[in-house]
Chains A and B, each alone.
Chain A
Amino acid sequence: MHGKAVVAGVGETTYYKHGQSKDTEFQLACQAVERACADAGLDVREVDGLISYMDTRNSPLRVAEALGMKELRWSSTPWAGGGNNSASCVMQADAAVTAGYASYVVAFRALAQGQFYRLGSGSTLASGGAPEGLSWGLPYGEMTPAQECALHTKRWMHDHGVSQEALAAIALASYANAQRNPRAVRYGQPLTREAYHASRWIVEPFHLFDCCQENDGAAAVLVTTPERARDLKQKPVPILAAAQGAGPEIGIRAFQKKWFPGMYYTNVGEMIWQRAGIRPKDVDVLQLYENFTGPVVMALCELGWCRPEEVDAFVANGALEGPDARLPFNTSGGNLAEAYIHGLEMTIEAVRQARGDSTCQAKDVDYSLAIAGPGYAPGSAILFGGTH
């Protein structure tokens, strides 16, 4: 926090449509870590800390051994959920290097879900043998994050008079920005408002284009101290503030009381604004994880950009599209249109904005914010300082 740790390099593999990577998931993971080090000009064997999230396959021991790392001095993973940790994984790297426990820590996420089970698919769940906690929904066909987020979104839209156009605006902005990004899986495939509305329902109120893609790929972020970064080749990007958490009334029980409908981002917002000493209006460019568009508009409100009754107007008329938008947003195309690497690719885009080398570069960036996946606790966020 406060720039005591910096991002010294970022690495990404090619992003593929679901099932199209010829590399194995582990090869993708290793390539992303290697590329983050290459970006920084660091010998990969010097990495001494590894972090991932919702990943039991690409263990730090396996990665460290395969890449010939001399010594592992930090390995960790944030608890629970999935994409809600795409910012807190870098926060943990910050904590590790700031405290001096490790020198060069890489946070990474790799997925080629076609090679394993597929997230959001119920087809592998055993009748009567699934984890007990899933039993509250399974017998009723409630088995995916899309359905859970739809239940929250539907009630929230009902309570606050929010229209389908607010959801459409999120999808349209992500797709418009992806048309500037050749890395994006949806590059060259613009989305019109008509095509959005004509697309099939997945679960109301989510059309196909309200839902994140399924992709193969890997992403990695290298964190070190500013002193060490001076000997590396990239412009170091300071980590100004980060937050992870939930509460009050934690909300571990889905759909209960306080957090229904809700996205678990109120206290994440309060922490990040207090720690950074800024307010939402000061943010120059925002990457906000889209699992589904509904959680994005809900999180915008919980984080303090506007009230729910104002969100239709806040996102309307292209307010989020392009580098000169009122709020430059998901500038790489995000999970919807660049690739779904559980949001770590969006944290990387926030770093890119702070460096000044996005394909949809906002002007004079002082504050570049990445918000991890809403709808699942603990939520997280990370704020990078501009380098212009």
Chain B
Amino acid sequence: MPRLLGDDFLLPTLGPHTKTYFTAGSIQIQFCKDCGHAQHPPDDLCYACRSRNLEYRTMPGTGRVESVCLVHHPVHPALKTKVPYPIAVISVDGAPGCHVLGNVTGCAPESVVIGDRVRAYFDEVPNPHGGEPLKIPNWARA
């Protein structure tokens, strides 16, 4: 499906901490192999036990809307025809304490409320720098 804010809207920068999340095609969360702590965004060591022994795990791809704001003012020229759109903080099932950002799509933007159950889908976009395509997670009502 086309990206909510346009297929050519701002893409994530792929770096050591973002590449997995934006290319895997599933919801990937960083876990500590020593203490089991889940953290997002990923970092170079575990914030619970300082271990460097970290791995990504595949989450079920469901979650819950913890907060949502409806954006009316387009701060980027490409958003002038896209407002209003919702931005949500979503708690990720299977990753205690981990929240991610996304839009909730496929419904009236003003209808999204705290407590909504959502399911991840992935917008596949060519990588402008070449190589494997981006698979940008976003969310729709479950």
Contacts and interface: CB of A to CB of B under 8 A. Distances in A.
Contact of B75 (A143, A150, A155): A143
A203 B99 contact: no
A140 B87 contact: yes
B13 A141 contact: no
Contact of A151 (B13, B17, B69): B69
A122 B75 contact: yes
B67 A152 contact: yes
Chain A interface size, as a band, is 35 or more
B113 to A, nearest CB: 9
A143 B76 contact: yes
A144 B76 CA distance: 10
B69 A154 contact: yes
A261 B72 contact: no
B99 to A, nearest CB: 5
Contacts of B70: 201, 203-204
B101 interface: yes
Contacts of B22: 135, 139
- Chain B interface SS verdict (over half): loop
Interface in B67-88: 67-73, 75-77, 79, 82, 84-85, 87
Interface string A124-144: 010111111111111111111
A137 B101 contact: yes
Given A127-B128, A135-B12, A260-B89, A151 B67 contact: yes
Interface in B1-25: 3-5, 8-18, 22
B138 interface: yes
A258 to B, nearest CB: 9
A151 B72 contact: no
Contacts of B140: none
21 contacts: A121-B76, A123-B77, A127-B128, A135-B13, A135-B15, A139-B5, A139-B9, A140-B4, A141-B103, A142-B87, A147-B69, A151-B68, A154-B69, A201-B72, A201-B84, A203-B71, A204-B69, A253-B41, A255-B99, A256-B97, A256-B98
